[in-house]
């Protein structure tokens, strides 16, 4: 507690932090830093560090430099992929790359870029990883995700 802070206000912050993240229900650092939201859908609540990372990735104008923007974008992608994997079914996993069937039926492919390749250039290792993931998904006979259906629609 900050010495000049009102004990009742501090106790309210601690209680708000105990409620967990307003977005994902994860735990929030306690004692919390700053004040909880004063208005809007998160009124009286805090966001966890992962949810703040996603907010910053969606609003790069809030960040000070390009390195922070790039870091938040990468971290937000990792956080979203991890959350989807927890909520869905991992169909294929090789190192940090994975194919996940989300609870909504969406196939999420997270394929790591091979070191030394730029994200937009052809990466033969990543392409081979994509084919292995799709072949694994094809063996599971998931409606809408068969390679034969894909070939027929090309």
* Bridge partner residues of 46 (DSSP): 21
Which helix (H) or strand (E) segment holds residue 8: the answer is helix 7-18
Q: What is the pLDDT of residue 90?
A: 84
The Cα–Cα gap between 132 and 141 comes to 15
CA 131 to chain centre: 24
Domain boundaries, the chain: 88-154
Omega within 30 of 0 (cis) for the link into 144: no
- Give the side-chain half-sphere CA count within 13 A for 3: 0
- Beta carbons within 10 angstroms of residue 83's beta carbon: 16
DSSP state of 111: -
pTM flag (> 0.85) = no
Residues in the chain: 154
pLDDT given for residue 42 in this prediction: 92
Q: What is the pLDDT of residue 22?
A: 92
Residues in the chain where the model's pLDDT stays below 70:
1-4, 119, 149-154
Distance of CA 62 to the CA centre of its chain: 19
């Amino acid at each position: 507690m900050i010495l000049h802070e009102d004990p009742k206000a501090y106790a309210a912050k601690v209680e708000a932090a105990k409620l967990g993240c307003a977005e994902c229900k994860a735990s929030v650092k306690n004692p919390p830093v700053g004040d909880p939201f004063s208005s809007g859908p998160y009124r009286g609540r805090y966001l966890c560090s992962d949810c703040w990372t996603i907010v910053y990735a969606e609003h790069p104008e809030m960040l000070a430099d390009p390195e922070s923007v790039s870091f938040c974008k990468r971290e937000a992608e990792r956080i979203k992929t991890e959350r989807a994997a927890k909520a869905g079914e991992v169909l294929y996993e090789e190192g940090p790359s994975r194919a996940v069937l989300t609870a909504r039926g969406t196939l999420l492919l997270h394929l790591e870029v091979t070191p030394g390749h730029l994200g937009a250039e052809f990466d033969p290792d990543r392409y081979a990883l994509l084919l292995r993931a799709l072949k694994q998904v094809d063996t599971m006979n998931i409606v809408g995700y068969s390679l034969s259906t894909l070939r027929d629609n090309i």
